[in-house]
Amino acid sequence: MSLSLTIDGGIALLELNHGKANEMGSEQLRAFDALGEQLREGDARVLITYSRRTSSRGTPIFIAGANVTERQGWSRDEVAAHVRYQRDVLARVRRLPVFHIAVVNGVALGWGTEFMITCDYRIAAETASFALPETGLGIVPGAGGSSELPYLIGLPQTLRLGMTGERIGAEEAQRIGLVQEVVEDMDAGLERARAMAARVARNSPTAVVAFKRAVLAGLGARPRNRKALEARAYEHCLDNGEATIGRENFAAIRKGEPVPWGPLVPFKVGSKRKDSGE
């Protein structure tokens, strides 16, 4: 198995530990696709991705990049199809119905930096470093680094990383918004991620997923369409009884006690339901 996934109490832990340096190739892309199916059909509400991998020299590694060596002998069309596939896989990972937290320890280069786009929250150990070296290899970042990264860190910083290939550390990554927190080491990062996961797990699964899907679908949309998405997501929670459960258990919620939320009912962003109040 290319990817190691364990699920405990609604929290899925994905440990990257494959190849020479956690490089991403065809086998790993297929495994990510299969993992996505598992998470869409399962009960996990949080995904924490991390790696304790180190190089032979002791350098920590998150994802060292794409597996370029497997492409030797490939035709132009084979390379293009492969990169389109990896772009599609990462887009599907981005939309998973979970709160996805990355805990980055060590190098996250090329594909590793682009993987940050798929996550909802990013925690970096002090050892973490990030870069987009693709233009120095005669290509462009093709798994979201050219199309989606500006939404995360803004246009100037995206152009800086992609056009210079400069490697940045954890503090600079936090400054520009590529990561949200910097912690001392991997263990501290996992502890913080688990604490966040516990909070997500207390909330309504239907409401949490509806919120994420409405927010993501609204990126780049017109204000009227964003408001319509918000209204549909809110009414989705009303229609499926989660708002009623919340009101009836308000005292328990304030005390931090468990609440009998209903099963996850996915919110379909493409719904044609008319938005009330628009």
Is 3-199 assigned to CATH 3.90.226.10?
A: yes
Which amino acid belongs to residue 57? R
pLDDT of residue 277: 32
78 closest CA partner among 29, 26, 20, 140: 26
Q: Within the chain, which residues score under 70 in pLDDT? A: 1-2, 271-278
pLDDT of residue 275: 37
pLDDT in tens, 16-52: 988 888 998 999 999 999 988 889 888 899 999 999 9
pLDDT of residue 171: 98
Report how far residue 175's alpha carbon sits from residue 172's, in angstroms, rounded to the nearest whole number. 5
pLDDT of residue 149: 95
pLDDT of residue 269: 86
pLDDT of residue 2: 64
The count of residues in the chain is 278
pLDDT of residue 232: 96
φ, ψ of residue 161 to 5 degrees: the values are -65, -45
pLDDT in tens, 204-219: 999 999 999 999 999 9
Q: What is the DSSP string of the chain?
A: --EEEEEETTEEEEEE--TTTS-B-HHHHHHHHHHHHHHHHSS--EEEEE---B-TT--BEEE--B--GGGTT--HHHHHHHHHHHHHHHHHHHT-SSEEEEEE-SEEETHHHHHGGG-SEEEEETT-EEE--GGGGTS--TTTTTTTHHHHH-HHHHHHHHHH---EEHHHHHHHTS-SEEESSHHHHHHHHHHHHHHHHHS-HHHHHHHHHHHHHHTT--HHHHHHHHHHHHHHHHHTTHHHHHHHTHHHHHHT----PPPP----TT--PPPTT-
pLDDT of residue 69: 86
Structural domain spans, the chain: 3-199, 203-278
The pTM for the full model equals 0.92
